[in-house]
Amino acid sequence: MAGPNPTTAISAPGKVLFTGGYLVLDRAYTGLVYGLSARINVIAQEITTSPGVQLTEIVVESPQFLEAQWRYGYHLADEDGGISVTQLQIGSTFSPNPFVETALAYALTYISRTSHQHPAHSIKSARLAILADNDYYSQSSGSSSTSSSSSTVTGGGAGSTTGSGRFARFPTTLRKANKTGLGSSAALVTSLTAALLAHYLAPSQFDLSTPAGKATLHNLAQAAHCAAQGKVGSGFDVAAAVYGSFKYRRFSPSILSGLPEPGAPGFASALVGVVDGKSVTWDTETATAGVGLPAGVALRMCDVTCGSETPGMVKQVLAWRAREGAAATALWDELQARNEELAAVLRGDGGNGTGDIRGALDAVRALTRRMGEASGVPIEPPSQTELLDALADRVEGVYGGVVPGAGGFDALALLVRDDEETAARLKAFLEGWSKEKGARVKLLEVRGQLEGARREELGIYEGWLR
């Protein structure tokens, strides 16, 4: 089955859960999510072979890293099991990549059942190249990191890298690279899924520019990402990769809880029924209307490079909520109200421009610290509190910020005046702070961005395509 577009490029953004950490796990609450200008790009190409040579192989590579190639065989499983994917050993190395492998199994299964013109066994081999914008990985101060950022949301240690521009080369394996917590796995699964759909299916069957195409991508990527991580999460990160920025209410976990394993009897029919919404009703809410920032304000991210164990933190907070019952619910209700007030300020409701941002942020942070203290989880650790307060008090043009998502020690999200002077002051302050505190805090080039997954022109990948 030759794709209607032999070489297809898709990108999907990273994310930041600006408010609603922990709350988004419960459908009674919402979170304010921003897509980011840092993107995971996937380019799908046909593999050309000599006449008479037939391959059934998918090659996936991440050429920015060492030893980052994975090869997979695939075949049609019995009893409606869909497409079964098996990783092939390359030489003496065998490095599993569950997110890639699961995304392939889910996407190829859906494609095999959706493309009525071709039987599943005629899916032709393909090569998929993954390119990540530099801000997904911590880099040494001497390395080059310039991230592309169009349609930005404004009101109007992995070692030294080599090369310049949007995609740096890293002298390490992907496993050893230090991530900055921008949602690389969700963006990867989403862009990989979209590239496969766009490569193999006709535009009448999948068109990413349409609401129906985005819904198909969202549902399929959510199913694959949840399977790869071994649990049904809130899904805000995949939703951000598809839709960009929005107010988010999670889908009911029961939608995905009954899917069989890839290759198991009935998997293909069950997957298509879920993705197309024929067997379930998706109740995700991604309200994009009115999501933005006041005129002249940008969302910027700081990499703190300390790291937090998010799964353990989430488990501990949820245990506290179950234990405390009504008291915990009352705190969550109050935090939801403060989150809504902040979102209204950022939409421009009330007409006070940037004047209300600091107060609205402080109200959210105070309740977040209360939840952290009550649950024994460092959602906003004292070191982050000190830094956030210092930034807002001492750097002109910084309105304030939060420790996003599940919190911890690895990132800050800031709202700042969108001009070069503010950025220069902010970088200088963080450099001095890092030296004074013995920390390592760096302003990333990434910015908030409204747009979600999209097709890309091939010219931006010059030098990376075979």
253 within domain boundaries: yes
In angstroms, what CA-CA distances link 299 with 223, 337, 415, 429? Answer: 30, 22, 5, 17
pLDDT tens profile 419-431: 999 999 999 999 9
323 and 228, same domain (yes or no) = no
39 and 113, same domain (yes or no) = yes
What CATH number corresponds to the domain at position 146? 3.30.230.10
The DSSP-derived string for 388-410 is: HHHHHHHSTTEEEEE--TT-SSS
pLDDT value, residue 292:
86
How many C-beta neighbours within 10 Å does residue 352 have? 12
pLDDT tens profile 58-107: 999 999 998 889 999 999 999 999 999 999 987 777 788 999 999 999 99
pLDDT value, residue 175:
82
1 within domain boundaries: no
pLDDT tens profile 46-58: 887 655 556 689 9
The number of distinct structural domains making up the chain is 2
2 within domain boundaries: no
**Helical (H) or strand (E) element with 361:** helix 357-375
pLDDT value, residue 101:
96
123 and 27, same domain (yes or no) = yes
346 and 404, same domain (yes or no) = yes
Give the three-state DSSP class for 446: strand
Q: What is the mean pLDDT of the chain?
A: 89
The reported pTM is: 0.91
pLDDT value, residue 51:
59
111 and 248, same domain (yes or no) = yes
Give the three-state DSSP class for 364: helix
Of 13-17, 93-97, 115-119, 379-383, the least confident: 115-119
466 within domain boundaries: no
Residue carrying the six token digits 């950490």 = 21
> Which is higher by pLDDT, 152 or 362?
362
275 and 368, same domain (yes or no) = no
pLDDT tens profile 240-298: 999 999 999 999 999 998 899 999 999 999 999 999 999 999 999 999 988 989 889 99
Residue 35 confidence (pLDDT) above 60: yes
pLDDT value, residue 279:
93
pLDDT value, residue 34:
96
306 and 254, same domain (yes or no) = no
Residue 403 confidence (pLDDT) above 50: yes
343 and 369, same domain (yes or no) = yes
pLDDT value, residue 348:
85
The DSSP-derived string for 39-76 is: EEEEEEEEPP--TT----EEEEE-TTSBT-EEEEEEEE
pLDDT value, residue 157:
36
Residue 189 CA to residue 103 CA, distance in Å, equals 6
Q: Bridge partners of 84? A: 75
146 and 262, same domain (yes or no) = yes
> Which is higher by pLDDT, 353 or 120?
353
121 and 18, same domain (yes or no) = yes
How many C-beta neighbours within 10 Å does residue 372 have? 21
The mean per-residue pLDDT over the stretch 325-348 comes to: 96
Which range of residues forms the domain containing residue 101? 7-288+456-461
427 within domain boundaries: yes
66 and 115, same domain (yes or no) = yes
40 and 129, same domain (yes or no) = yes
* CA angle, 430 then 431 then 434, to 5°: 80
What CATH number corresponds to the domain at position 348? 3.30.70.890
Of 29-43, 262-276, 296-310, 328-342, the least confident: 296-310
Residue 145 confidence (pLDDT) above 50: no
Would you call 273 exposed, middle or buried from its count of C-beta atoms within 10 A (0-12, 13-18, 19+)? middle
pLDDT value, residue 50:
56
DSSP structure class, residue 359 = H
